[in-house]
Chain A
Amino acid sequence: MSEPIIELNNLKKYFAINNGVLAKNSYVKAVDDVTLTVNKGEIMGLVGESGSGKTTLARVILNLTKPTDSHVTFDGVNLSKATRKEMKKFRTEVAVVFQDPASNLNPRDTVMGSITRPLILHGMSKKEADKKALEALEQVKMDSRYLNSYPHQLSGGQLQRIAIARALVLDPKVMILDEPTSALDISVQAQILNLLLDLQENLGLTYLVITHDLNVIRYISDRIAVMYLGKLVELGTTEEVIDNPKHPYTMGLMAASPILNPHERNREKHLMQGDPGSLINLPTGCHFHPRCPYATERCKKEVPKDIIFPDGHQVNCFLYDEKNKTTSEYTG
Chain B
Amino acid sequence: MNEELLKLNKLCVDYKVKGGYLSAVKNVSFSINKGEIFAIVGESGCGKSTIAHSILHLLPEHNEVIKGNIYFKGSDINQFTEKQLEGIRGRDIGMIFQNPLDSLNPVYTTGFQVAEGIMLDNVSKIDAWNRVVQLFKDVKMPDAEKRAESYPHELSGGMRQRVMIAMMLARMPELLIADEPTTALDVTIEAQILNIIKELRDKHNTAVMLITHNFGLVAEVADMVAVMYAGEVVEQGTVYDIFDNPKHPYTTLLMKALPRKTKKEGRLQTIGGSVPRLTENKPGCRFENRCPYAMDVCKNQDPAEYNVTDSHTYSCHLGKEVK
Contact = CB atoms under 8 A, between A and B. Distances in A.
B221 interface: yes
Interface string A244-266: 00000000110111111111110
Contacts of A155: 274
Given A187-B271, A216-B259, A238-B262, A262 B191 contact: no
Contacts of B65: none
A260 B260 contact: yes
A165 B319 CA distance: 41
Contacts of B261: 219
Interface of B: 43-44, 142, 156, 158-159, 186-192, 195, 213-222, 239-240, 243, 253-254, 257-263, 267-271, 274
Given A215-B216, A257-B191, A264-B219, 17 more contacts: A186-B213, A186-B254, A187-B270, A189-B259, A190-B259, A197-B263, A215-B258, A219-B262, A219-B268, A239-B262, A252-B188, A256-B187, A257-B216, A258-B217, A261-B219, A265-B219, A272-B188
A256 B191 contact: yes
A6 interface: no
17 contacts: A186-B257, A187-B271, A190-B257, A190-B270, A194-B268, A239-B262, A253-B187, A256-B188, A256-B190, A256-B191, A258-B216, A258-B217, A261-B219, A262-B219, A264-B219, A271-B192, A273-B192
Contacts of B192: 271, 273
A274 B213 contact: no
Given A186-B213, A197-B267, A212-B187, A262 B254 contact: no
Given A155-B274, A186-B258, A187-B253, A271 B195 contact: yes
B263 A220 contact: yes
A276 B217 contact: no
A253 B189 CA distance: 10
A49 interface: yes
B243 A262 contact: yes
Contacts of A34: none
A242 B271 CA distance: 28
Given A187-B271, A197-B263, A215-B216, A253 B188 contact: yes
Contacts of A239: 262
Nearest to A50: B186
A249 to B, nearest CB: 9
Nearest to B268: A190
Given A185-B213, A259-B220, A219 B259 contact: yes
A319 interface: no
Contacts of B218: 262
B141 to A, nearest CB: 11
B225 to A, nearest CB: 9
A218 interface: yes
Contacts of A271: 188, 191-192, 195
* Interface residues of B, dominant DSSP: helix
Contact of A212 (B142, B186, B217): B186
B219 A185 contact: no
Given A255-B191, A262-B243, A187 B254 contact: yes
B186 A258 contact: no
Interface in A274-296: 274-276
Contacts, number: 119
B270 A275 contact: no
A113 B299 CA distance: 39
B187 A186 contact: no
Give the interface size class of chain A. 35 or more
Interface of A: 49-50, 155, 185-187, 189-191, 193-194, 197, 212, 214-216, 218-220, 238-239, 252-253, 255-265, 269, 271-276
Contact of A185 (B43, B222, B240, B260): B43
A275 B148 CA distance: 17
A171 B136 CA distance: 54
B262 A218 contact: yes
Given A260-B219, A262-B239, A49 B262 contact: no
A260 B261 CA distance: 10
Contacts of A269: 191
Contacts of B190: 256, 258
B229 to A, nearest CB: 10
Contact of B142 (A189, A190, A272, A274): A274
Given A190-B268, A191-B270, A260 B187 contact: no
Which residue, A239, A252, A261, A272, has most C-beta atoms of chain B within 10 A?
Answer: A261
Nearest to A276: B186
Given A258-B214, A269-B191, A272-B188, A193 B259 contact: yes
Nearest to B273: A187
A187 B43 contact: yes
Contact of B263 (A185, A212, A219, A261): A219
Nearest to A277: B156
Contacts of B274: 155
Contacts of A252: 188
Contacts of B271: 187, 190
